[in-house]
Structure 1
Amino acid sequence: MNRELALEGSPAYDTARQKRRRRNFLIAGLIVLAVLLGAFFAFGGSEESPATGPRAAGANGSGAPSVTVIVPGQSEIGRTITAAGTLAARRDQSVGVSGSGQVTRVLVEAGDWVRQGQLLASIERSVQSQTAQQQRAQIAAAQADADLAQGELERARALEERGFVSKADIDRKQAAYDAARARVAVAQAQLNQTRAAIGLLDIRAPTSGLILERNIEVGQVVSPGTPFAFRMARGGEMEMRAELSQEDLSSINVGMPATIIPTGTDKQFDGRVWQVSPVIDPQSRQGEVRIAIPYDPAIRPGGFAEARIGAGATTAPLLPQSAVLADATGNYVYVINDENVVERRNVTVGSVDDRGVTIANGIDGTESIVSRAGAFLTEGRKVSPVRESAR
């Protein structure tokens, strides 16, 4: 003990107290440093993988890293088949030209809605109109001849009763009257033919629907060999035509719901399968599925889209996405065998959604699957599995 004792509250007393406090802090810091160094030398040399999580050694103290595993079992999962394809009009109609001449009017544009029988375009008809007038005059002349022949026949029959006209004269007059009537009928038929030809110079919509293309212009000379004056979608009905593998095609039936997502937009449209191809292409081994879609301006024939077809439910293992790995050879998972050794198992992925990854082939659901950080493991390594509950 020092001979000079500082009185409490004096400056000397405060100085001594501050020195003791600094000394205590220094001692505590040295102790913490010693603990950290001890932990470093105790664990730094052991092999540790990110897959082990917070445990560096198994419960048995063997030094094997702990990994989280899951036994997925079998889950009932709604099966979704994804396919790509093109958008098209469900009933694509070509509106052709039946007459010949120069186009005088075009009354619709691509994108217009039309009703059945609506006038789409007109072709010049002056020549046909003149022909019709000439034929109407011919009918009038033929009718006059017929009326004259009828009058002569009636007078001859009146004279026949008094014996002034022979039976042969009556027969000749009857024949002349019949010939005149025939000439009237011929002239009338010719006029009807001309009127029909004039009617064909009006291009009309065969059904109600949406005009997809306009391929004629005013002043253009057309003929019956011009088959595609217009293209239209009957009723505006659209569809998607998707190509599916033979295996997927066997799971599709008419009436199944589908979701259509056109490329370049985030819009989704509800559709329904209305036709499944009865044949498989021998070259591609694929068949066509046609999905009906209600009209929308975002559905443009010729565009590309993705279809997700609800193909019922299936029973399969369901894994978290972190459990399924991939490399150049395909998808795989790591399985922990009975000896706690890592094994690689190649798998076939069925579908991927928010719930996880459905495994179509490769595992049956009874295996212990590494659920996280499998990319940091290697096949053949011994681990200490820690099981978590399946989803």
Structure 2
Amino acid sequence: MTLRVFGGRQALQTLSFWAALTLAATGAVAEEPLAVEIVTTTRSAQTLTYSLTGEVVARDTLRASFPSGGRIAKLQAEEGDKVKQGAVLAQMDSVQQVQALRAAQAGLSTAQANHTQAIEDLDRQDALLERGATTRISRDSAEDALRITEGALTQANADLERAQRALDDTTLAAPTDATVIERLAEPGQVVGAAQPVLELALGSQIDAIFDMPEVLMSTPRLVDEIDLALIDRPNVHFSGTVREVSPLVDAGAGTVAVKITIEDTAPNITYGDAIRGTVTVTDQPRIAVPYTAMSATAAGPAVWVVNPDTMAVSLRPITVERYQTGWIILSGGLDENEEVVTRGAQLLYPGRIVRAAGDSQ
């Protein structure tokens, strides 16, 4: 190979050419800042509104039933009826009970007659014994007979009481002033002992019951009043307060039953009405970032934070308070006035230089 050495002006031109190529190659290797969307974090309080649909229910309910089984002869209460204490609601076939009562009454009459006769026999034996006209054995036998009749009388009274109670049990009466909510049986139906026949609402107080998602219970918030409105009358509003929160979570639906006391000033409401409850609360100030800023590390959620001096990014772990449409609400990990990458985060790696989309290079 022959090495040719250029001299003078030609050599200077060749050196300049190679220097230009070297500079061009260096510029090609240098990475340009990546255009991304950047937001500056701010802390602000959010007003949260939750609405659920529930049902109007009686505060105190009772499932009325017969103490013993049998066939229902009459069911005199209809749904929505208001009944007074002692009113007959239903009756069961009572032929056997009536016969048993008559037999018990006859047995009691016989026992009473025997007891009366035994008293008279003892009195006569006492008189004869005083005159010496009878023996002590005869007198004691008369006393024993009296004791036997006393036991028989007691048993007859118990049988009569039991027969009367059995007959009374064939009539179902209202234990107090109530409203019939639901019929659970029909005339002619054979029911077992303690099988519910009617559901009654006791008194006049009513509640609204809601199945609240468990996630809404995870962050306790103080709620003074709840705005209520019937579904068929959405323009009529009234208030309620939380009365009871179930300690159990429905395993199938993942909800918690919450009962709301409806004030007496509420408009005309009936049991079973569909009702909507709305709660508006102001959460404590928190930092929120768009959902597109979400990334992750092995430890959990994270976001890309921009160093404003160098425009280099780094991955910062965050603590998520909750999610809502389009936003991630944080409880830790970021402070105010920090710059976070939103769109374009999937193209980043630690130390990557970025610029805000729209800014000139």
TM value normalised by structure 2: 0.61
Separation in 2, partners of 1:329, 1:233: 54
**Where do 5+ consecutive residues of structure 2 fail to align?**
1-34, 348-353
Q: For residue 42 of structure 2, what is the aligned residue in structure 1?
A: 72
Q: CA RMSD in A?
A: 5.1
Aligned to 1:314, what secondary structure does the other structure show?
A: coil
Q: Does 2:337 correspond to 1:366?
A: yes
1:298-318 Cα shifts (integer Å, max 9, x gaps): 7638x79777486x853423x
Residue of structure 1 aligned with 2:182, choices 213, 216, 236 = 213
Aligned to 1:229, what secondary structure does the other structure show?
A: strand
Instruction: Give the 3 Å change call, closer, same or farther, for CA 249–287 of structure 1 in structure 2.
Output: farther
Aligned to 2:43, what secondary structure does the other structure show?
A: coil
**2:183, 2:199 within 8 Å by CA — same for their partners in 1?**
yes
1:144-172 Cα shifts (integer Å, max 9, x gaps): 12111111111111121121122111110
**Which amino acid in the other structure matches residue 159 of structure 2?**
Q
Q: For residue 199 of structure 1, what is the aligned residue in structure 2?
A: 168
**1:102, 1:221 within 8 Å by CA — same for their partners in 2?**
yes
Q: For residue 150 of structure 1, what is the aligned residue in structure 2?
A: 119
Q: For residue 129 of structure 2, what is the aligned residue in structure 1?
A: 160
Instruction: Give the 3 Å change call, closer, same or farther, for CA 313–276 of structure 1 in structure 2.
Output: farther
Separation in 2, partners of 1:118, 1:134: 28
**2:92, 2:171 within 8 Å by CA — same for their partners in 1?**
yes
Separation in 2, partners of 1:351, 1:212: 41
**2:180, 2:201 within 8 Å by CA — same for their partners in 1?**
yes
Residue of structure 2 aligned with 1:240, choices 201, 210, 232 = 210
Separation in 1, partners of 2:86, 2:310: 78
Separation in 1, partners of 2:246, 2:189: 42
Q: For residue 275 of structure 1, what is the aligned residue in structure 2?
A: 245
Aligned to 1:178, what secondary structure does the other structure show?
A: helix
1:79-101 Cα shifts (integer Å, max 9, x gaps): 77777888766555432222344
Q: For residue 185 of structure 1, what is the aligned residue in structure 2?
A: 154
Separation in 1, partners of 2:92, 2:164: 14
Q: Does 2:108 correspond to 1:139?
A: yes
- CA displacement at 1:173 relative to structure 2: 0.4
Q: Give the alignment of 1:9-24 within 5 angstroms.
A: none
**Which amino acid in the other structure matches residue 359 of structure 1?**
I
TM value normalised by structure 1: 0.57
Q: For residue 121 of structure 1, what is the aligned residue in structure 2?
A: 90
**2:41, 2:339 within 8 Å by CA — same for their partners in 1?**
yes
Q: Does 2:353 correspond to 1:382?
A: no
**Where do 5+ consecutive residues of structure 1 fail to align?**
1-64, 386-391
**Which amino acid in the other structure matches residue 149 of structure 1?**
A
Aligned to 1:134, what secondary structure does the other structure show?
A: helix
Separation in 2, partners of 1:358, 1:328: 8
- CA displacement at 1:174 relative to structure 2: 0.7
- CA displacement at 1:140 relative to structure 2: 1.6
Aligned to 2:112, what secondary structure does the other structure show?
A: helix
Instruction: Give the 3 Å change call, closer, same or farther, for CA 223–297 of structure 1 in structure 2.
Output: same
Q: Give the alignment of 1:98-117 within 5 angstroms.
A: 98-115=67-84, 117=86
Greater strand proportion: 2
Separation in 1, partners of 2:231, 2:334: 35
Aligned to 2:74, what secondary structure does the other structure show?
A: strand
Separation in 1, partners of 2:57, 2:92: 30
**1:132, 1:194 within 8 Å by CA — same for their partners in 2?**
yes
Q: For residue 272 of structure 2, what is the aligned residue in structure 1?
A: 300
> Percent identity among equivalent residues?
18
Separation in 2, partners of 1:284, 1:102: 37
